[in-house]
Structure 1
């Protein structure tokens, strides 16, 4: 799909939709007809995804072997899974924000450490041992969907040459600590930072870090500042976002509502664990949704603790 541009734009953008076996749906990757020939994100590391990406290049009038530069919005498998294969095939340079760098360059090397972090977190959040054991095996099964890739680091405000113009790197931590958006002429590529129809997971999608919701809300307010007439907002999943400012306001209100929901659950006077709150909010959670659900509750509780609206003792939370 060619993204419409006004005559003042110098870079043509092609959206390629890559099949994704997970709940987010197809992953959008973007081929930029510029020098160097650039791809934003890759899709997951399956043969079906590679065939779709190759077909997308052909539709745009290019061979996949011609790729020169790959820019990753963040470190999740459905966005960088084909990076190693593309680098081996094309010799392309790969870029990702410095805070997500090691999780792309050392995927297998960090796997045991990552699983250990999951186990420690879920244990502290009161998740039953049998569920922790099941979830802990999943990263090993999914490891084949991506591979360690040599990459260069990006930083906030950095500018990358795109022919006669430049692309700006905007650091938007929250979904991951190294999540970025990219601004090129009148295009804003948002990865999973801004998604139409639903909000990205905050808290469980980068489980080893604290304070993610606070980072995310600040990042949302910052990215709203880039809104202007004619801006085309291109997310990592689903269709373009038509009202960036309105979407940001709606997302901030959604998280405020979640805080109110947690406070209501604690108003009965019984201290609850993160897991118990998550079950009451989301119902039974299966597979990796258990990490995402408990992680989201935990990051909301962090903010509520900062506001002194809840207290924490022996793994449980209650009102002051």
Structure 2
């Protein structure tokens, strides 16, 4: 049973409909329909997996029937993609056909994910393989994780991008804030006193982080800088994310997320200090997330890697098997505290 569709009014006359879709069996995502003082616009479009497309079409029709919006599908002329993760853009090919060719916009750093999707999958998979090997993951486990990583991605094809959502762009009174970290081209959309935070700020969990060694413009350093950028925005009354509940105080939520990451950094330092020998990213991941299984193992390895990368960049950690690194193509990296 999906949560109900919700309507929110912004201070600039744009009505915002928050529409749930089941992106994956255990992942609920939110898409948004913007109407009123703007060209009818869809923000994100689910994963295209399972029932996600059906949920999106049903929600768009329900906005008309249940909320009285005089809006046909073909009236929706634009699609904003907040970032290039599959639970937000995977349904693009399907919904674009239903909307009779609506124009699509995304940030420049995520543009190639849409226009050259097959290329990006090959490159990102290779980068991930190298990362997992350096993290100390066994070759069999590496292949298992890569198979899980690529499963849903095989269902997606490249799509045309019609315009770019660059930092500071203004469309119908809405402005776009580039907030890299969770994803390279992550944007938040300011609609008067409402901020569509996408996956940059969520109400309960801290958004997933992966190391920049896998994808440029991700990583914890970029993410924390982006939190500070959003914190400097004045007058945001409400945050609406790509998952979870609305955020009634984004400023307090930003502080909570920062505190969570600082606790995680300290926990990682404690684990490495307490180890008898230098440790790998995989060692730390097992120590902190010993109960995870399946795809969550990959997410844990990326999350720990992002934090270890941050600690290394800030001089808190050292790599100690330099001879092996110098003589080998892609050895496991061993860390100790500086």
TM-score for the superposition, normalised by structure 2:
0.87
Deviation for aligned residue 1:208: 2.6
For the aligned residue pairs, the C-alpha RMSD in angstroms reads 2.0
Mapping for residues 1-320 of structure 1, pairs under 5 Å: 1-5=5-9, 8-21=11-24, 23=26, 25-34=27-36, 35-46=38-49, 48-61=51-64, 62-89=71-98, 90-151=100-161, 152-161=163-172, 166-203=173-210, 207-209=214-216, 212-228=219-235, 231-268=237-274, 269-314=276-321, 315-320=333-338
Structure 2 CA distance for partners of 1:219 and 1:283, relative to 1, 3 Å: same
Displacement, 1:13?
1.0
Does structure 2 retain, via aligned residues, the 8 Å contact 1:13–1:30? yes
Distance 2:255 2:299 in 1: 23
Q: Is residue 184–residue 215 contact of structure 2 (8 Å, CA) maintained in 1?
A: no
Instruction: Report the Cα offset of residue 110 of structure 1.
Output: 2.7
Alpha-carbon shift at residue 264 of structure 1 (Å): 0.5
Find the aligned partners of 2:81 and 2:25 in 1 and give their Cα distance: 19
Distance 1:282 1:225, change over 3 A: same
Distance 1:282 1:291 in 2: 11
Measured after TM superposition, the shift of residue 22 of structure 1 is 5.0
CA distance in 1 between partners of 2:95 and 2:232 (Å): 34
How far, CA to CA, are the matches of 2:302 and 2:194 in structure 1?
32
Structure 1 runs not aligned, ≥5 long: none
Q: Deviations over 1:191-218 (max 9, x none)?
A: 0000011111111699333761001001
How many residues of Structure 1 are paired with residues of Structure 2 in the alignment? 313
Match of 1:20, SS state, is: strand
Runs (5+) with no aligned partner, structure 2:
65-70, 322-332
1: distance between equivalents of 2:171 and 2:249? Answer: 26
Divergent runs of 4+, >4 A: none
1:255 Cα deviation after fit: 0.6
The answer as to whether partners of 1:80 and 1:146 remain within 8 angstroms in 2 is: no
Going from structure 1 to structure 2, the CA distance change for 1:145 and 1:243 (only over 3 Å counts) comes to farther
Question: What TM-score, normalized to structure 1?
Answer: 0.91
For residues 53-81 of structure 1, the C-alpha deviation after alignment (integer angstroms, 9 at most, x for no partner) is 11211122233333210001101111111
How far, CA to CA, are the matches of 1:146 and 1:205 in structure 2?
A: 24
Rounded to whole Å, the distance in 2 between the matches of 1:191 and 1:206 is 23
Deviations 1:218-258 (A, max 9, x none): 111111222526x1211101210011111111110111101
Q: Secondary structure at the match of 1:303?
A: helix
Output the CA distance in 2 between the equivalents of 1:263 and 1:279: 14
Name the CA distance, whole Å, in 2 between partners of 1:206 and 1:185.
36
1:295 to 1:270, Cα distance in 2 relative to 1, 3 A: same
> Partners in 1 of 2:63 and 2:272 — Cα distance?
54
Contact kept, 8 Å, 2:106 with 2:165, in 1: the verdict is: yes
Larger displacement relative to structure 2 (44-53 or 275-284):
44-53
Aligned to 2:327: none
SS for the counterpart of 2:175 is strand
